[in-house]
Amino acid sequence: MTLGNKIQEIRSSRGMSQEQFGELLDTTRQTVSKWELDQVVPDVRKLIAISRIFCISMDELLLNVTNFEMEGVPFSCGIYKKGMTEIVETEKLALEYYAEKKYVMGAKAYEGAGDQKTLVAICEKNVKTKQITYAYYYLDERGKKCVVSNCKDYDARLGAEKFDRKRLEKMDRIDSFLINHGEYPLHTVYELGIRKCLEEWNRGVRACVGPESFFINLHTDKKEYVYQIRQEGDDVYCGISYNVPFDLGIRSYGQYYRLRNFQDNSKPFCGCFFDFDYQMPKEQYGIDCTKMACSLTGGANQGENGVWFIKRYSNDEIVLDGCGGDEYVYCKKTDMLERFTN
């Protein structure tokens, strides 16, 4: 039984609605719904409140809960590779990028606590036929599951297909990292400098899911994973890149997975490709050397050279000059689904 199952059992046995249950715990009905679906784990204060209000010991509440790791052992997040598949898993989600039969590319997103993650989004593109299919779901204001899809065959899998963590045992683990649960404060530009702040502020997961789009952006020390589906025009972009901060901004060392579908696909950035054997090349001068950045020509589209230079900054914000004049904004206080430690 998961923690969400136990919370639902406690609430139902008292004949309470999610809204009534939430009011007692000073939280919303939507949050209670996410607890019961194991999409979010209540913090320690809420668990203590449940224990006291409903006269249930913490042992009874947490004993044999299947989506908690061993007591005292932190969940080890990681990046796994094997063949034409790469998976990055954190405490709350897993992203899988894959290629099948050399002409079908796909990406899946799973969400949930620990080993209880379920499918929340899937998209695939047949490179030969150029057909894109996708489906994802979100919860509306009343906690109702709403599906956005252009392929009904996927719909039943959402929320039902479980993430198989046993697969990871047969894959090569190429990186690992831990979640920052608040014990490591964020620093300012004055304290650490631009490069270190770009690393620290950006290391984690941003997520935004709603009726118009599904968006996840995950950064480790060197890698960036993007998972985006926009309903309008079947706009899909899933990619994996090596993006490394240096003293004057961020340098891209290459993208080796791109599943792209945008309008009529006539744009040069709409190509689809993958190379799971790709490794970040060694920089000739080193990412700390300003000579590397200054040797590249500037101009209105500096991002074409794979370098995004500083446009302006303050103590708590850094703005980079991106492709086509776009601004990439990095803030100390950016909302994160999860933050990672060093």
Task: Encode the chain (342 residues) as per-residue pLDDT tens digits.
Answer: 678 888 988 898 888 999 999 999 999 988 888 888 777 788 888 888 898 888 888 877 877 676 555 444 557 789 999 999 999 999 999 999 999 877 899 999 999 987 789 999 999 999 888 889 999 999 888 888 999 999 999 999 999 999 998 899 899 999 988 888 877 889 999 999 999 999 999 999 999 999 999 999 999 988 999 999 998 878 999 999 999 998 889 988 899 999 998 888 888 778 899 999 999 887 655 555 444 443 343 333 333 458 889 999 999 999 998 777 789 999 999 999 999 986
Q: Note whether 196 and 328 are within 8 A (CB).
A: no
Determine the structural domain holding residue 314 and report its residue range: 178-339
* Residue 69 lies inside a defined structural domain of this protein: no
**Are residue 235 and residue 188 in the same domain, yes or no?**
yes
Co-location of 231 and 158 in the same domain: no
Do 113 and 28 reside in the same domain of the chain? no
* Residue 252 and residue 117 share a domain: no
Residues 281 and 206 in one domain: yes
User: Are 130 and 224 within one domain?
Assistant: no
Same domain, 264 and 195: yes
SS3 category, 272: coil
38 inside domain: yes
Asked if residue 72 belongs to a domain, the reply is no
Residue 109 lies in a domain: yes
Residue 226 sits in the same domain as residue 325: yes
With b for 16 or more beta-carbon neighbours within 10 A and e for fewer, the 167-192 pattern comes to ebeebeeeeebebbeeeeebbebeee
Residues 39 and 87 in one domain: no
Q: Pick from 170, 197, 232: which residue ends a domain?
A: 170
Task: Looking at 102-212, list the stretches that DSSP marks H as alpha helix, in order from N- to C-terminal side.
Answer: 152-155, 189-192, 194-202
Residues 243 and 189 in one domain: yes
Do 287 and 199 belong together in one domain? yes
Last residue of one domain, picked from the residues 154, 170, 186: 170
Q: Hey, what are 264's tokens?
A: 């009529």
How many domains is the chain partitioned into structurally? 3
Distance separating alpha carbons of residues 238 and 300, to the nearest angstrom:
26
